[in-house]
A and B are shown apart, each in its own frame.
Chain A
Amino acid sequence: METLLKVKNLQKSYGDHAVLKGVSYEIPRGKIIGLLGPNGCGKTSMIKSIVGLINDYKGSILINGQNPGVESKKIIAYLPEKSFLAPWMTPKSAINYMADFYKNFDKEKAIHMAETFQLPMKQKIKTMSKGQQEKLQLLLVMSRKADLYILDEPLGGVDLVSREFILDTIMKNHAENSTILLSTHLIYDIEKVLDRVMMIKDGLLVVNTDVEKITNDGKTVEDLFREVFRYVG
């Protein structure tokens, strides 16, 4: 199976504090991968290194055979935890902005999704509710025909109904044969859609296995997560 993302011995420190201590893995095309771990385990630092937001890491990252840069940014659709749009923007101007920069951005699909989500196209983002803002950001990312979708905690801080809506939107709208790297600590919600899970603990990749293998062992992803992180609910 063709490798889309190859990470080798990735290390990242903030001063004396090492957050990634030599992480290596390969991700093939067409898979949905859960990047799991508690807050502060290094998930976001790893994602930031892949998308080009952190450059002072050690090790190597190859996306479709290339280092993070202009070419990799063309094929990665990234949804950060933060609200990345300027508050004066409207859904309409945000859609135009994305269409300006990404050739693989499907403007018609974005407009259609905005209508489906009942987003007011001319309302300023700063006056929209948090839920509306999140929907807008999600549709901007999912309207791209990307090779790799990287979604950092898309389910965090929202209620159960919204989580189902977000997950449904992701599953229905990602490009064919694309890979989704989904970072979360809410395992229960995403377990059913994952092909593979990676678990990060104290800056090390401690689990990197297919969900099928976990279920064949008679466990759920959540069981394994509890085992690894010794969490008793």
Chain B
Amino acid sequence: MLGKLLKNEFIATGRIMGVVYGVIGILLAYILGSYAINRDEATTAQALGITVLILIASCNIFFTAIIMIMNFQKSLYSDQGYLSFTLPVKGSTLLHSKVITSVVWFVVSVLVLVGSSVIVFLTFKEDILGEETYSMVETFAPMLLQGKSIATIITTVLIMIISYFIKMTMITVELYFAISLANTRLFQKHYLIWTIVFILVITFITGQLSTLFASNVDFGFEVLDKGFSLVTSAEDRTTGSGFVDLTSVIISLIFGAGFYFGTFYVMNKKVNIS
């Protein structure tokens, strides 16, 4: 049933997200197409296109969050909830489908932003940075990776991707928890206001706790030339070397689990669709 729920979730959210990615695709095609025709220098129209593209791709992350919030609210806690909650699926499966869809769209939005930025940068590198700056970047960039083995670089990137993925999931369930809480009987009447209040309060608390832990607990991997070194205290760290912080990842996992079970409980026990 999860597959069927996911299919329908992507149909529901894809209608709007598809429009955004369509616009981004058209802009990118225009920028690259016009560059292919005129390689001499960036035109004003191209510069405007690049600005709009990066602006849309950047705002898209925020836009994705809004769409996911609206979809969760409407499909579960509005009249459509009469259908969602009477489907022959477990409450956990219903929640999984929402979380997976949301995380996928968040990941796609970041990939599109990074991808568009990289493509535009590589195409117009000298025009964007200026010849001198670009030449400097070209000289110094490889020094960052100098001496690092390919395995080390790949592992570092993988750890960063997984860490980002975990944080995105945590943010998603945090939003869902806030919405679910705002739809309990006590807050239901002004659910929109309460959703915003809960998001702000929860974000503030989790932010404070994360900072507190992160500044007091040194735990992660130090990136060495060939491999990694486990860091469990500040004394273990070498100045100037790369560090993959695991404290924030673990904190995200703990918060994520808490919000997930909290949402599941509220959704199944406390919400009464009016």
Q: How far is the CA of A78 from the CA of B82 in the complex (A)?
A: 9
Q: How far is the CA of A85 from the CA of B268 in the complex (A)?
A: 21
A77 nearest in chain B by CB position:
B86
The answer, yes or no, to whether A86 is at the interface (CB within 8 Å) is yes
Q: How far is the CA of A159 from the CA of B136 in the complex (A)?
A: 78
Contacts of B89 in A (CB 8 A): 70, 101
The answer, yes or no, to whether B4 is at the interface (CB within 8 Å) is yes
| A-contacting 9-mer, from B26-34, B72-80, B110-118, B235-243 | B72-80
Q: How far is the CA of A52 from the CA of B79 in the complex (A)?
A: 15
The answer, yes or no, to whether B189 is at the interface (CB within 8 Å) is no
Q: How far is the CA of A82 from the CA of B273 in the complex (A)?
A: 11
| Interchain nearest-CB distance for A68 vs B (Å) | 10
Q: Are B86 and A85 in contact (CB under 8 A)?
A: no
Q: Are A14 and B80 in contact (CB under 8 A)?
A: no
Q: Within the complex, which residue of A54, A56, A73 is in contact with B87, where a contact is CB–CB below 8 Å?
A: A73
Q: Are A52 and B75 in contact (CB under 8 A)?
A: no
The answer, yes or no, to whether A74 is at the interface (CB within 8 Å) is yes
Q: How far is the CA of A85 from the CA of B82 in the complex (A)?
A: 9
Q: Are B82 and A80 in contact (CB under 8 A)?
A: yes
Chain A interface extent, by class = 20 to 34
Q: How many residues of B contact A (CB 8 A)?
A: 26
Contacts of A51 in B (CB 8 A): 86
Q: Are A73 and B82 in contact (CB under 8 A)?
A: no
The answer, yes or no, to whether B1 is at the interface (CB within 8 Å) is yes
Q: How far is the CA of A80 from the CA of B85 in the complex (A)?
A: 12
| A-contacting 9-mer, from B7-15, B121-129, B208-216, B221-229 | B7-15
Contacts of B4 in A (CB 8 A): 100-101
A83 nearest in chain B by CB position:
B79
| Interchain nearest-CB distance for B268 vs A (Å) | 6
Q: How far is the CA of A55 from the CA of B81 in the complex (A)?
A: 14
Q: Within the complex, which residue of A54, A83, A85, A102 is in contact with B272, where a contact is CB–CB below 8 Å?
A: A54
The answer, yes or no, to whether B148 is at the interface (CB within 8 Å) is no
Q: Are A76 and B269 in contact (CB under 8 A)?
A: no
| Interchain nearest-CB distance for B135 vs A (Å) | 52
Q: Within the complex, which residue of B7, B15, B87, B268 is in contact with A88, where a contact is CB–CB below 8 Å?
A: B15
Q: Are B86 and A74 in contact (CB under 8 A)?
A: no
Q: Are A52 and B85 in contact (CB under 8 A)?
A: yes
Interface string of B145-177 (1 = CB under 8 A from A): 000000000000000000000000000000000
Q: Within the complex, which residue of A54, A85, A93, A102 is in contact with B88, where a contact is CB–CB below 8 Å?
A: A102
The answer, yes or no, to whether A171 is at the interface (CB within 8 Å) is no
Q: Are B269 and A100 in contact (CB under 8 A)?
A: no
The answer, yes or no, to whether A84 is at the interface (CB within 8 Å) is yes
Q: How far is the CA of A14 from the CA of B272 in the complex (A)?
A: 10
Q: How far is the CA of A73 from the CA of B88 in the complex (A)?
A: 5
| Interchain nearest-CB distance for B260 vs A (Å) | 18
Q: Are B90 and A86 in contact (CB under 8 A)?
A: no
In the complex where A84-B83, A86-B12 touch, is A15 in contact with B185 (Cβ < 8 A)?
A: yes
Contacts of B87 in A (CB 8 A): 73, 101
B residues 68-104 in Cβ contact with A at 8 Å: 74-75, 79-83, 85-90
Q: Are A76 and B86 in contact (CB under 8 A)?
A: yes
Q: Are B269 and A53 in contact (CB under 8 A)?
A: no
| Interchain nearest-CB distance for B11 vs A (Å) | 8
In the complex where A84-B83, A101-B87 touch, is A53 in contact with B8 (Cβ < 8 A)?
A: no
| Interchain nearest-CB distance for B62 vs A (Å) | 22
A75 nearest in chain B by CB position:
B88
Interchain residue pairs with CB less than 8 A apart (24)? A14-B272, A15-B185, A48-B272, A51-B86, A52-B85, A53-B272, A53-B273, A54-B272, A55-B268, A55-B269, A56-B269, A70-B88, A70-B89, A71-B88, A73-B86, A84-B80, A84-B81, A84-B83, A85-B83, A88-B12, A100-B4, A100-B7, A100-B8, A101-B89
| The 9 residue pairs across chains A and B that have the minimum distance between CB atoms | A82-B79, A84-B82, A84-B83, A73-B88, A80-B82, A74-B88, A100-B4, A70-B88, A101-B87
Residues on B facing A (Cβ under 8 Å) = 1, 4, 7-8, 11-12, 15, 74-75, 79-83, 85-90, 185, 268-270, 272-273
- A76-B86, A80-B79, A101-B88 given; 17 more Cβ-contact pairs under 8 Å: A52-B85, A52-B86, A53-B86, A53-B272, A55-B268, A55-B269, A56-B269, A70-B88, A70-B89, A71-B88, A73-B86, A73-B88, A78-B82, A83-B79, A85-B80, A86-B74, A86-B75
